Structure formats: structure tokens, C-alpha cells
Structure 1
């Protein structure tokens, strides 16, 4: 990736220069409101392929790495306009890999086809707060329905740009932003942004852009148990997208019933670097929570000529998108059943499990036959509650995914994490 630190450095330089006088005058807010955490993350990832489909005949991806994520967030200077700086530093270190086992997403792969020994990123953002409105410029980690925070590997991706969030009216949230570049989850530098349709990456020097624009209105009411939202996103010259959401939570005796419904409408944009794009995606999730149990039933459907578009290397909040398969192919229909259990209900706090099964069909593969696929996921997580290992977390994931038109996958992940509060 091309190194483009100008946005981050400019934000940091301008922020530092502009803030010095205010910091000296209002040090208590800027310093006393500051926080710093260091997360250590040890990550093993193994993905076995069988019945390989496509030009890449690598039969296995398997790597082990150690990551560190340092976050330092200042408070705000006092006065009607508060200023601050948030900084993030990340380091990834190879523990085990091999030429025939690369491309897990944990580590960058060099031109020699081997995983690099280490990689790192450092960025900062200036933040400005006026009343209930906040502007950020610099290194960002957005978590949006149109650009979800994809912290799914060793280090999270970041973006360089500007965002504004306003909560001046109770229950009403207004958001807008422009991102100029992105740092992939296994890259040290940053560069232009690419798009992905369904499970097939669309890469190439002529298929990237340096503009991702978005705007949104969200409104929560009914004692915040109900919310609706309208979003617009544009990956300039590639696609634009509208998203409509409805969420509701309803207590009924000892149960809590929930609904999460969303609809995306996407089409090509500007110079149409990927050609014409036609996709509409609808999903619904109905849930019921009782004690430690949460049961969920989901349905998802793709309409139009193409698979679901998104910024490359990102997951989406589509109802049936899961760790391995997206279930977002052209014309695909899919169902999901899921069960979560929090063992705190049995007197074992910190232990949680998730089991889910998704089945999809009706995929327009473009190969003259209907695509079908399924995936089964099992997650077990535990966070130590006390003693010398307090707050150490362990997570195990096992996945089996099978398809009639893409490679079958057996996957295992083991993640150990520990977050230290520095101040």
C-alpha cells in the first residue's frame, strides 16, 4: 500500500499548535480527562480449504501472531469549545507462518510471498466539541451501518478523514463524514479504498478511490427501545448506497423480544470503475431473550443483478453475514438460527457461548447453475473475573462452511487478549 501519512500528521500538527494556549489555560480538563489503555492480543488463525475453486490453489492459511494496540485519548480543554487529541499506535509481530500458509489477514505478505516479521501503524486525530456536537479530523475508526468497524483479525483497520456527530436534540443523532484513505487490517501504510462485491474482491490500481462520503439521521424514541435510521454512502466513482433501519426491543414478562430490520439499495456511481452495479439487500432478525438465553431467527435476501457491495476488507451489519461466508451473492436467499448463552445465569460470570447455522441458496453464480452454501459457527469465550489473571480473555471459534460454487472451509481461531488501563 502507498504510504499517505499527510492527513494524520496535518491533523496532529494543526491540533497541537492550536491547542497549546488552551491546554495551558485549562490543563485540568485536557489532562484529567485523559485515558490510556494497552491491549495485548495473541491470535492463532487456521483456515483449511477443500474442493478449491479459483486460480489460487493454496490449500491452507495458518499463522500465529502477537498484536499490541495502544490508545491514548485526551480530555477536552475547558470553555465553550473543547479541544482534544486521540492517538492510536499498533504493532503486529509474526510468531509463526510459512510461504505456503500466508494470507490469513493477520500479517502482511511481502513481494517474496512470505509473511513479514512485523508491521506497525501510528495515527492521531484532532477532536473539537461544541455543546453536543463533535468534529474529528485525522485517524478514525468508524463503526457505521455503511462502514462497519471490522476488528476481526490481529489489528483493526483505520481510516484517514473527517467525521462529525451531533446530538443536539434528544434522541436525534446526525452524522456525516468524508474518508480520504484507509489502512487495511494487515497493512502498515494507508492508501486508496477498494470495493468488494459479495465474496469476490475487486482490486486493481484503476479500481480505487480516495473519497468515501456518508451522511445519516438516526432517531431513538419509546424510551430508546425503538429506533429508525436513514443512511447514505458513496464510494466515489464505484458505488453509492442507501440504508434504512428499524430496531425495537420489547419487554414481555421475563422475556425481552427484539426486531432488527434493514434494507440496502446500491448502484454504480460516477465513473463506474466496476461497471454497472445493481443490488438491493433486505434482512430481518427476530430475537427472544430469557435469563441467560438469547434465541435469534434471521432471514436475508439479495435482489438485483449483482452481489452486495462494500468497502474492501470490511464486514457489514447484514443480518446473515458471519465470519467466513457473507451470504450476499447475487439473488441469494438465506436463513439463520442462532443461540447465545451467558453462563452468569448459572453463576459462572465471564463465560459465554454462541452457536449459529446459516443456509443459503438461489445464488446466481454466473456458471449456469444455482449456488447453495451453509455455515456452522461455534464460539466460546471466557474472561477471568478475579485473581492474578483478572481480565484475561480467551476466545475459541470453530467454523465449518460448505458451498457448491466456492471453496469449502474448515476454520479455527484461538484469541488471547488482555487490556491494561494505564491511566
Structure 2
């Protein structure tokens, strides 16, 4: 099936499922199933422009613009000791501009002709069962766990296919066990095997359809502290351990100190299809909340001969120094971050927020360099409509400047304009 017909079929399926959901909800024939159900349709308009600078640039700019439709339906559970439910994620994106030699922003997939496609999308369906305080979910959805985090930084979110059990039978303790078999990155409409970040599973033999993870999280200290222990394994590629500690220390009314500290330790697994791997990452994000302001300090250290180990396309948001265009997770990289957030509700403008941060990394082992450096300057000005017919519509302007001293196209200024309009269907 060609891409056009494939996406048309996806659109028709989404429309049919939406119609069925709305029909059942209005008829009341599945009252308990829909009692706690929620359905939202997010209209996301996304524009990116990158203006490349420096002697190592082989192009002048990258620029794309898309309009996306994200349907997110989450049912409640049927009655009885064993409850059944279903979640539906319908995704469709259309190209508004791009492809005249300016593709490559990852807003759109690239076709066989190396040009961005006109449209793409997919349909993710997950069934779920609940018994007591334990839930089993199987199918396709945007998974967000410290060791496997879906990337939602472009037109459509990344999704994974698999089965996850989440249990909260013991007060303060949450257990996880997951088995994942497929990956659909943010700029891909298909479901592929998984590979290590930086590797394309479509062209590489170093891929796997078997990712497993398990974890225990303990919440204590009147819910101010959380300790998590995670294990993950991408069969025959890598395995890793992760320990995370999160804490909030109130100081007075509107004033608190916060910390999110983590440590990864990983190496190759089984047949070592991606070669010998050796990676350790310390990540610490600390911030002071003072009324409508937040002051952040991020510290991060990568040890070992390889980059941080993660599945291709997945987000680096678990790390302290993850930014819009870099997670500062290169081999042996040392990095730090200073960040400032302000909520203009303090000046009588609710819904308006501002963020600015500076990140710098050094001692990077990448390419033929052992002294690589990079720095990012990033900011975001956002406004969410507070009332009226356009309530909850969000406008975001993100500005980035990035410089590296290795690779091509390693210096650029970037602008992103993101307009999101979430519609609550029921």
C-alpha cells in the first residue's frame, strides 16, 4: 500500500472509531464503560525554522510546517472485580510547507525519494484490565517511563507497542513490569523494531523486538520523597540499571527546594549486536520555587566510552540537561545548566509564562574529537487562553541557539511556533 492510501485508511479508521465512541456515549448503552471516559482532540500546528551558520554548514536552512490532529480517548472500566477498558490514540499530520530542499526537522517522515511526505499518521489501540489496584495494559500507546520515554516534541508523539503491568497494592509502593515489541518514532507512521539511539533499525542489523523493564518506586515522607529502582534490557543490544531520588522540601509559604537525582549504569547485552558498550550517567536537577519564580541548576556527567543508552527516537527527558535539541549525553560529556522560569500571574496576566536556560557541555568524545564542546541558549514564551470560546488554546514560541565544535551543520539558530487547541469531546 502506498503512503497516500495508507494514511487515508488511517484517517477513515480514526473517523469511524470516533463516530462509534460518540454514538455509544450518547446512547448510554455502555454507561459504566463511559462513566469515567475522557476524549480529547488536540489540533496542533507546528512550525520549525533552522538557520545554519558557520563553515561546517552544508545547507542554509531547514524549515517545515504541519497541521496535526491528535485524538486521545481513554475509557473507564466496566463493573465487576475485573474491569475492562480501552484507550485509543488516533494520530494524523499534514504538511503545510516544506520539502523544497528544506526538510529534515523531523516534523515529517522522509520518503524513499528523500523528500518529506505530504501526510502521515497511525492508529494506536490499547486494551486494559484492572483488578484491585493492579492494571494490565496491552497494545500501542505513548509510554512515559524513566527508561523508555515517548518523545512528543514534534508533529505527533512517539508510540510503543507492548504490555505493561502497574501495581499499587502496597501503600506507597508502585511496581512496574513491561515487555515492549515495537517502536513508532515521532516522524514515522510504521511500527519498527528497536535499536540503540543513533541507529536506524530499518537499515541496521543491530535491532531487537524485545525490550523489557521492571521497577519499584517507594513514596514516603508524607509524599515529599520518592525512591525508584529500574532495570531495562534491549535484548542482545544493551542492559542498564537506574536509581532515582526525588524530593521536595517546603521552606515556607510558596518557597521550596526540590531535587531530582538519578544514576544510570549500563553495558552490552547477549550477542552485543551494537558492539561493546560502557556507559554511566549521573544526573542532578535542583531548583528553588519562590512564588511565581523558579531557579534551576542542572549537573550531568557521562562516564564510559559510549553515549547514554536508550531506544532510538525516545526522549532524553529523564536527564537533567535535556534540551530542545540536545540531551548532553555524549560519551564522557560533562555539562551544566542554569534555568529561570517566571509565571506572569504574579503581574496580573494569568496564562502567560516565560522560560530561559543556558546549557554547556565539554570533554565530549564524538567523531574524531576527544575535546568536543557544545552550548545551547533556549527560551520559551507561552500563553494559554484562560476563558471564552478559545479557552485552553496554547501559543508557544521557542527560540534556540546551538554551537558545537564537531560534525556538520553544528551551529544554528532555531525558531519554533506551536499552536495547540485541545477540544474536550466528553
What residue is the counterpart of 1:74 in the other structure?
75
Equivalent pair of 1:355/1:379 in contact (CA under 8 Å): yes
What residue is the counterpart of 2:264 in the other structure?
264
The 5-angstrom pairing of residues 152-231 of structure 1 reads 152-196=153-197, 200-201=198-199, 203=201, 204-231=203-230
What residue is the counterpart of 2:311 in the other structure?
311
Question: 1:368: Cα distance to partner?
Answer: 4.6
Equivalent pair of 1:26/1:78 in contact (CA under 8 Å): no
Q: Deviations along 1:187-235, whole A, 9 cap, x unmatched?
A: 1111111211xxx445533021101110000001111100100001111
Unaligned runs of 5+ in 1: 4-23
Equivalent pair of 2:127/2:137 in contact (CA under 8 Å): yes
**d(CA) in 2 for partners of 1:396, 1:137:** 36
**d(CA) in 2 for partners of 1:402, 1:218:** 38
**d(CA) in 2 for partners of 1:2, 1:176:** 37
**d(CA) in 2 for partners of 1:58, 1:270:** 41
Equivalent pair of 1:2/1:190 in contact (CA under 8 Å): no
**d(CA) in 1 for partners of 2:51, 2:131:** 51
What residue is the counterpart of 1:27 in the other structure?
30
Unaligned runs of 5+ in 2: 4-26
Name the CA shift for 1:25/1:134 in 2 (closer, same or farther; >3 Å). Answer: farther
What residue is the counterpart of 2:127 in the other structure?
126
Name the CA shift for 1:282/1:273 in 2 (closer, same or farther; >3 Å). Answer: same
**d(CA) in 1 for partners of 2:283, 2:124:** 36
Query: Secondary structure of 1:364's partner?
Result: strand
Alignment length (residue pairs): 399
Query: Secondary structure of 1:30's partner?
Result: helix
What residue is the counterpart of 2:301 in the other structure?
301
The 5-angstrom pairing of residues 277-288 of structure 1 reads 277-288=277-288
What residue is the counterpart of 2:381 in the other structure?
380
1:409 aligns with one of 405, 408, 412: 412
Q: Deviations along 1:84-131, whole A, 9 cap, x unmatched?
A: 111111110010012411121111111112211111211211100000
Equivalent pair of 2:63/2:98 in contact (CA under 8 Å): yes
Name the CA shift for 1:77/1:397 in 2 (closer, same or farther; >3 Å). Answer: same
The 5-angstrom pairing of residues 248-397 of structure 1 reads 248-254=247-253, 255-316=255-316, 317-365=318-366, 367-397=368-398
Q: Deviations along 1:153-189, whole A, 9 cap, x unmatched?
A: 0100111110010011111000011110111111111
Question: 1:285: Cα distance to partner?
Answer: 1.4
Name the CA shift for 1:262/1:78 in 2 (closer, same or farther; >3 Å). Answer: same
Higher mean displacement: 182-191 or 126-135: 182-191
Equivalent pair of 1:249/1:258 in contact (CA under 8 Å): yes
Higher mean displacement: 250-259 or 44-53: 44-53
Question: 1:149: Cα distance to partner?
Answer: 2.5
Q: Deviations along 1:10-46, whole A, 9 cap, x unmatched?
A: xxxxxxxxxxxxxx99933212222211000000011
Query: Secondary structure of 2:162's partner?
Result: strand
**d(CA) in 2 for partners of 1:52, 1:386:** 49
Query: Secondary structure of 1:340's partner?
Result: strand
Question: 1:60: Cα distance to partner?
Answer: 2.3
What residue is the counterpart of 1:13 in the other structure?
none
**d(CA) in 1 for partners of 2:91, 2:36:** 23
**d(CA) in 1 for partners of 2:90, 2:55:** 37
What residue is the counterpart of 1:6 in the other structure?
none
**d(CA) in 1 for partners of 2:97, 2:214:** 42
Query: Secondary structure of 1:91's partner?
Result: strand
CA RMSD of aligned residues (A): 2.1
Equivalent pair of 1:2/1:189 in contact (CA under 8 Å): no
**d(CA) in 2 for partners of 1:80, 1:388:** 41
Give yes or no for the alignment of 1:43 onto 2:46.
Answer: yes
Equivalent pair of 1:69/1:91 in contact (CA under 8 Å): yes
What residue is the counterpart of 1:64 in the other structure?
65
**d(CA) in 2 for partners of 1:201, 1:336:** 27
